[in-house]
């Protein structure tokens, strides 16, 4: 089971990450572009999801495109999901209590790679 401390630690291990918060909760940015953020379900989300609405802490992550989003959700719908509001948005939601640290590291890094400047991402990948 992952925690916000795990998300924070893994995100801050990546280059040029700034952690902070806004009215919605915690967020992590690279060069002023957020890639990971706290995303509690809102009243509208709960109404739309009905009995299928998950409970627990929810992490939002940017993904490269909608195919990546569908791939993650399809690979493990117990961990990854979306809401109608995000239908055409390149982001996926993650139930923190259901993801292990190895997979969390992978998806946080992938989210960072989606938002980092190309040169920074290329340098990071070359050094990995």
Confidence of residue 7 (pLDDT cuts 50, 70, 90): very high
CA neighbours closer than 13 Å in the CB half-sphere of residue 65:
1
Per DSSP, 64 falls in state S
pLDDT bracket for residue 42 (50, 70, 90): very high
Neighbours of 13 (CB within 10 A): 12
The DSSP-derived string for 1-41 is ---HHHHHHHHHTSTTEEEEEETTEEEEEETTEEEEEE-PP
- Which domains can be identified in the chain, with CATH numbers? 4-127 (3.90.1150.30)
Q: 118 in helix, strand or coil?
A: helix
Alpha carbon distance 66, 12 (integer Å): 26
Q: What is the pTM of this model?
A: 0.94
For 57-105, how does the pLDDT look when each residue is reduced to its tens digit (9 = 90+)?
Answer: 999 999 999 999 999 999 999 999 999 999 999 999 999 999 999 999 9
Q: What is the pLDDT of residues 96-121, one digit of tens each?
A: 999 999 999 999 999 999 999 999 99
CA 42-89-78 angle, to 5 degrees, is 65
Coil/strand/helix, residue 87: coil
């Amino acid at each position: 089971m992952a925690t916000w401390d795990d998300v924070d630690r893994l995100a801050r291990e990546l280059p040029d990450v700034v952690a902070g918060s806004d009215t919605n909760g915690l967020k992590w940015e690279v060069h002023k572009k957020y890639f990971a953020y706290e995303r509690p379900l809102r009243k509208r989300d709960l109404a739309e999801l009905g009995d299928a609405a998950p409970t627990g802490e929810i992490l939002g992550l940017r993904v490269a495109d909608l195919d990546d989003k569908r791939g993650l959700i399809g690979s493990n719908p117990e961990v990854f999901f979306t809401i109608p509001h995000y239908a055409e948005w390149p982001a996926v939601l993650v139930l923190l209590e259901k993801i292990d640290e190895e997979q969390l590291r992978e998806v946080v890094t992938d989210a960072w790679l989606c938002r980092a400047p190309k040169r920074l991402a290329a340098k990071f990948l070359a050094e990995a």
